[in-house]
Amino acid sequence: FCAKGTLGDRLLRGDPIIRLRNRDLMVYASIKKTDLLSGHGDHQDLVDTVKNQDLTKLKRVFLVHGETKSMELLSTALKDEGYNVTIPEKGEVIEL
């Protein structure tokens, strides 16, 4: 994944010149993209990570990053394990 406007995004777009550290550089590489790998854990990895926490000490789990459907599925799985899970709205203020 390369966020819009990042160096990776510009390379994937095929920009012939990129700006790096205040220098314009020619791109001679042929860039290919794959969606086969991820630096993120999968659903079960995330569930297992939370389950390694002490349920009596972990007061609340906030899911703030990800696709809505994925966060809802993770929320359900964690609630089934007894965790108090919140998916806050963007900009929502939560008092701890």
State pLDDT tens for residues 17-46. Answer: 999 999 999 999 988 887 766 677 889 999
What is the DSSP pairing of strand 61-62 with strand 85-86? parallel
pLDDT of residue 36: 67
Quote the CA–CA distance of 71 and 65 in Å, as a whole number: 8
- The answer as to whether 29 is a domain residue is yes
Residues 48, 82, single domain; the answer is yes
Residue 57: give the domain boundaries. Answer: 43-86
pLDDT of residue 37: 66
- Total count of domains within the chain: 2
24 phi and psi, to 5 degrees? -85, 125
* Closest alpha carbon to 90 in 68, 58, 75, 73: 68
**8 Å CB contact between 52 and 81:** no
Per-residue pLDDT tens for 39-86? Answer: 778 899 999 999 998 888 899 999 998 889 999 999 999 999 999 999
The yes-or-no verdict on residue 93 having pLDDT over 90 is yes
